[in-house]
Amino acid sequence: MDIFMEMRQEIERLAEKDYKTFSASLVPGVEHMLGVRLPQLRQLAKQIAGSEWQQYLAATPYYFEELMLQGMVIGSIRVTPEERLRYMADFVPRINSWSVCDSFCSGLKFTSKHQKLVWEFLQPYLQSGQEYQIRFAIIMMMDYYLTEDYIDTVLQLLDGVQHDGYYVKMAVAWALATALAKQPEPTWQYFQQHHLNADTWKKTIQKCVESRRIPEEQKAALRQMRAMR
């Protein structure tokens, strides 16, 4: 039995009916979901990364979890940064939900050591016109580039995102709320002169108000800004 079918049997064994119902409610429109928890998928990804991972990545997924698992494997394999980017480039167009997107991004921890290389890789996706490809670039910036060196450019790029997709707007809002928590001074200055559309700005304030990392006085000021808009 090849590695792909072996792992298929394993995720079918790990499937939980109740968790599938819960997960499906969070990721509407996704088909062929089994209901396997993320920590279990991450363990399988590490296992695959230590064996016949090329064969696994070359297979065509059927289950939602198989696509998720392929993304996790890309983050787990031991390859050069350039080779990983090639696998990333193959995977990004296949992202079909916010859940696959965000779990994929969180596993690409090599980015922290290769920021310049990955930054250049991300830029075309912001202009792709595809909802999940744009979200991929935004979540990557949120996860790895809210630093002193990059924050001003990140804010500028987020301000320029033009896409009506719900998952793009929510990604921008989430990234800006995280930026306010991590880089409060430049982000607060940006809030005074942003060019976000009304819907994205409203979602940004909502995310900020919900955050436990943002001081109450800033939340109060944001509520006032929302009332004035």
Ramachandran angles phi, psi of 68, nearest 5°: -55, -45
Write out the DSSP string of the chain. Answer: --HHHHHHHHHHHH--HHHHHHHHHHSTT--S-----HHHHHHHHHHHHTS-HHHHHHSPP-SHHHHHHHHHHHHHS---HHHHHHHHHHHGGG--SHHHHHHHHHT-GGGGG-HHHHHHHHHHHHTS--HHHHHHHHHHHHHH--STTTHHHHHHHHHT-----HHHHHHHHHHHHHHHHHSHHHHHHHHTS----HHHHHHHHHHHHH-SSS-HHHHHHHHHHHHH-
Taking only the tens place, the pLDDT of each residue in 4-17 is 999 999 999 999 99
Taking only the tens place, the pLDDT of each residue in 73-126 is 999 999 999 999 999 999 999 999 999 999 999 999 999 999 999 999 999 999
Average pLDDT of the residues of the chain: 96
Q: What percentage of the chain exceeds 90 in pLDDT?
A: 95
Q: Yes or no: say if 78 and 46 are a contact pair by the CB < 8 Å rule.
A: no
